[in-house]
Every structure is written in C-alpha cells, then in structure tokens.
C-alpha cells in the first residue's frame, strides 16, 4: 500500500506515462478504506492471533480481505480518459480493461448498471466492499467479482482493485465483527467460474487486455529512486 501511495505521489501528469502495477498478498491481509476505523469492523485481536495483517488504503470504500488474488493498481493523467469528467465516468472507462480480461477467459462479464438497468438501487454505502454493488462494479452471471476503488489528485487518477483467483470471502468473514454470511453467495472468483490458469499467465492476459483497450504498449520497469524513497517514508510513518 505504501508503494501504491508513492506511485500516486510521485506521478507527474505532464511528464509521467501511465503505470500499471500487478501484485499479490502474502500473508493474507485486510485493507480498509481511508475513512474507516478498522476497530469498528474487524476483530483486530483475532487478526493478530492468526497473523492476519490490516493496512489502510489510500482510497475509500469498504474493508476487503486479500488472499489468493491478483491486485492491480494504475496511475494515469486525467487526459488519459477523454471526456470523462466525473469519478463514475472514469470508473466505467478504466474498468473496461477488466471486462475485456474476463471476456477473453470466456466469462460473461458486464457492469452492474448493464445487469440491473434501473431495476435495483445501486451505490449504497457499506462497510464491507463486497456487501454493496456500485453501478460500475463488474458482475459475472449476476455475482460480483473483485472490487475497485479510485482516488484523484489534481490532473491525476489513481485506481486499484482485486481479481480473486479463489473464493476467500468465507475465510475473511471469521475476522469481521459483523460478518455477512451471504457474501460468498453474492460473489464469485475465477476458480468458481472454472478458470484455473496460472497466476503468471493471467497477469500477461491482464496486461494485454489493458494494451488492447487503451492502445498502449507497456515497458517492464521497477520503481524509481524517488518512488522507493517515498514508499519508505510512508512505511516509517506507519511504524
């Protein structure tokens, strides 16, 4: 999470190129939104006893249990999204590469707004990421897959989200003060949909989907010195 924050802080909308970062979580952990108080949602004592970490995100939204998943983060100038003035418009635009990714795997993915055209109230605030559905969330056969959150600075858009490889909502439930037993039935994962492709191959497919959607070509690179120093500084603040 410190690296994500550093990527955003160090991004120069006039000079920097769009960044796509792919990563995972080991050991499992909870991330909570920047406006949440984790002690009101998570049993922190049980988490400490089982070695489950908790970490603050730089984005809003509900608490999310991260285990067997691919997590992405992307940073781009606002000009990367022509005509998208609102956060919602930017969400629809930037999550289009996720739709392309899931569809390339043979899955019938769509935005929630398309699945529920005016028949259901969307966008209600919930303390758990998977408990609510936003209009730009991605559904497969009516079940939510992954979660996405966004943060904006002047002329810069940051977004990150999860692509669950396996259904882990049940495991995460045991650490919640008020578990939602219906979450496993309302959500899905790649394994639930019969996709058992290796993480490495899925990461390549995800990158290629992004390139096709937005007409870009990525170059593999590591963190810059400035980004490393910035991330280390955020880690010290937490410690």
Q: What is the pLDDT of residue 129?
A: 57
Average pLDDT value for the chain: 90
Of 12-21, 74-83, 90-99, 120-129, the poorest mean pLDDT is in 120-129
Q: Tell me which DSSP letter residue 52 carries.
A: -
Average pLDDT score over residue span 107-125: 72
Q: What is the pLDDT of residue 126?
A: 56
Question: How confident is residue 168, by pLDDT bands cut at 50, 70 and 90?
Answer: confident
- 142 lies in a domain? yes
- 19 lies in a domain? yes
Question: How confident is residue 239, by pLDDT bands cut at 50, 70 and 90?
Answer: low
CATH code, 74: 3.30.930.10
Q: What is the pLDDT of residue 29?
A: 95
d(CA 163, CA 166): 9
pLDDT tens digits, 60-103: 988 999 999 999 999 999 888 877 667 888 889 999 999 999 99
- 118 lies in a domain? yes
- 164 lies in a domain? yes
Average pLDDT score over residue span 110-114: 91
Q: Is it the case that residue 124 has pLDDT exceeding 70?
A: no
pLDDT tens digits, 175-223: 999 888 877 788 999 999 999 999 999 999 999 999 999 999 999 999 9
- 97 lies in a domain? yes
Active site residue 129: yes
- 124 lies in a domain? yes
- 216 lies in a domain? yes
Per the structure, the count of domains in the chain is: 1
Structure tokens at 61: 């939204």
DSSP states of 60-125 as a string?
-S-BEEESSEEEEEEEEEGGGSTT--SHHHHHHHHTHHHHHHHHHTT--EEEHHHHSTTTS-----
Q: What is the pLDDT of residue 84?
A: 62
Question: How confident is residue 132, by pLDDT bands cut at 50, 70 and 90?
Answer: low
Domain of residue 23 covers 2-230
Coil, helix or strand for 211?
helix
Q: What is the pLDDT of residue 135?
A: 84
- 236 lies in a domain? no
Question: How confident is residue 14, by pLDDT bands cut at 50, 70 and 90?
Answer: very high
Which of the residues 10, 47, 76, 129 is marked catalytic?
A: 129
Question: How confident is residue 128, by pLDDT bands cut at 50, 70 and 90?
Answer: low
């Amino acid at each position: 999470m410190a690296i994500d924050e550093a990527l955003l802080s160090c991004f120069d909308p006039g000079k920097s190129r769009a960044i796509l970062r792919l990563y995972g979580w080991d050991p499992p952990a909870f991330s909570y939104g920047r406006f949440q108080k984790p002690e009101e949602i998570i049993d922190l004592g049980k988490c400490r006893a089982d070695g489950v970490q908790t970490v603050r995100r730089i984005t809003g939204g509900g608490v999310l249990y991260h285990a067997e998943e691919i997590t992405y983060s992307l940073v781009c100038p606002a000009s990367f999204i022509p005509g998208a003035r609102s956060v919602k418009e930017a969400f629809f635009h930037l999550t289009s590469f996720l739709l392309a990714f899931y569809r390339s795997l043979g899955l019938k993915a769509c935005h929630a707004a398309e699945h529920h055209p005016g028949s259901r109230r969307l966008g209600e605030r919930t303390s758990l990421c998977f408990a609510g559905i936003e209009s730009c969330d991605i559904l497969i056969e009516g079940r939510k897959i992954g979660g996405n959150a966004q943060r904006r600075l002047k002329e810069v858009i940051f977004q990150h989200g999860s692509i669950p490889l396996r259904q882990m909502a049940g495991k995460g439930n045991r650490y919640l003060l008020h578990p939602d037993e219906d979450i496993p039935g309302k959500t899905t994962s790649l394994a639930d949909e019969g996709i058992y492709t290796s993480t490495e191959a899925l990461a390549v497919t995800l990158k290629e989907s992004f390139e096709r959607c937005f007409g870009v070509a990525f170059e593999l690179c590591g963190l810059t010195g400035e980004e490393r120093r910035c991330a280390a500084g955020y880690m010290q603040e937490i410690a």
